[in-house]
Amino acid sequence: MNKILKSVVLLLNLSVLIGAQTHPFPQNIKYPYGYVPTTIDIDWVKSEYDKWLKTALTTCSSDKLYINAGGEYKVEAIGFAAFIFAYMGDSARFASTYNFYKSNLTTAAGGMMGWHGSCSGPAAQGGATDGDVDVAFGLIIASWQWPDAGYLEKAKAVITVLKKMVVNCKSADGDSILALTMGYNWGGCSMTDISYYNPAAFREYAKVIGNAEDSAMWVKLADDTYTILNAGANATTGLVPDRQSVTGSPQGNYADDACRTPWRITLDYLWNGNEKAKEWCIKLSNFAYNLGIKKVSGSFSLSGQPGGTHESKYFGGFAIAAMANSQEMVDEFAAEMKNLNDSWNWFTYVLKFCYLITLTGNQWRNDSFDTVSISQEQKHSSAPIDRIHWKLLVNRELSVTGLQPGYAISLTDVSGKQLYSKISQGCKASITVTSIRNRCLILTIKNQNNKILKSVFISTI
| Average pLDDT of every residue of the chain | 88
DSSP assignment of 310-374: --HHHHHHHHHHGGGT-HHHHHHHHHGGGG----S-HHHHHHHHHHHHHHTT----TTGGGS-SS
Residue 448 has a pLDDT of 66
| Superfamily the domain 381-458 falls into | Immunoglobulins (2.60.40.10)
Buried b or exposed e, range 294-311, using 16+ CB within 10 angstroms: eebbbbbebebebeebbb
Q: Return the minimum-mean-pLDDT range out of 5-14, 72-81, 175-184, 290-299.
A: 5-14
pLDDT average, residue stretch 428-436: 72
**Distance between CA atoms of residues 405 and 428, nearest Å:** 9
Give the tens place of pLDDT for each residue, 42-62. Answer: 999 999 999 999 999 999 999
Is-contact 116 122, C-beta < 8 A? yes
Helix (H, G, I), strand (E, B) or coil at 173: coil
**What pLDDT is attached to residue 445?**
85
Residue 42 burial class via C-beta count within 10 angstroms: exposed 0-12, middle 13-18, buried 19 and up: middle
Region 95-113 average pLDDT: 98
Q: Is the model more confident about 146 or about 371?
A: 146
Q: Tell me how far apart the alpha carbons of residues 73 and 88 are, in angstroms, rounded to a whole number.
A: 21
pLDDT in tens, 172-226: 999 999 999 999 999 999 999 999 999 999 999 999 999 999 999 999 999 999 9
Of all residues in the chain, the percent with pLDDT exceeding 70 is 86
Helix (H) or strand (E) holding 101: helix 91-102
Asked if the model's pLDDT at residue 8 lies above 60, the reply is no
Q: Domain ranges in the chain?
A: 42-60+155-370, 381-458
Does position 10 have pLDDT exceeding 50, yes or no?
A: no
pLDDT of residue 263: 98
Tens of pLDDT, residues 263-320:
999 999 999 999 999 999 999 999 999 999 999 999 999 999 999 999 999 999 999 9
Overall pTM surpassing 0.95 (yes/no): no
Q: Mean pLDDT lowest for which of 67-71, 95-99, 162-166, 408-412?
A: 408-412
Architecture of domain 42-60+155-370: Alpha/alpha barrel (1.50)
